[in-house]
């Protein structure tokens, strides 16, 4: 359920007492589903070898850093941004990973 659908559902649910319970349940279910998907993705990434992580533009420390960070942003989205930026910087520097 998208955010717009959830908000629309919540607005119509306010008119009915039972609808409020349904709206809260739908919101909690959406959050639990999102949490489970991120947790599964992080588990899969942590099981990958260093070579496999390097192949997708990440390091083990990237995965650990994002896993320990406060989850204000989806962990998988943060890792995608890190990999994209690293790939972009590598391409700009002629195929070599720039030294920090």
pLDDT band at 49 (very low <50, low <70, confident <90, very high): very high
Name which of 74, 75, 45, 76 is nearest 60 in CA terms: 45
Prediction pTM value: 0.54
At 51 the pLDDT is 92
Could you give the C-alpha distances from 45 to 11, 29, 40, 56, 84, in angstroms and in order?
A: 39, 24, 9, 10, 16
Residue 100: pLDDT over 70: no
As given in the structure block, the two tokens for residue 3 are 């955010």
User: How confident is residue 52, by pLDDT bands cut at 50, 70 and 90?
Assistant: very high
Give the residue with greater pLDDT, 73 vs 60: 60
């Amino acid at each position: 359920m998208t955010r717009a659908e959830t908000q629309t559902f919540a607005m119509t649910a306010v008119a009915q007492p039972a609808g409020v319970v349904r709206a809260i349940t739908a919101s909690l279910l959406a959050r639990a589903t999102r949490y489970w998907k991120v947790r599964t993705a992080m588990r899969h990434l942590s099981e990958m070898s260093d070579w496999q992580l390097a192949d997708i533009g990440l390091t083990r420390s990237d995965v650990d850093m994002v896993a320990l960070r406060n989850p204000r942003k989806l962990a998988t989205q943060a890792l995608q941004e890190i990999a994209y930026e690293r790939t972009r910087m590598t391409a700009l520097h002629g195929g070599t990973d720039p030294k920090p």
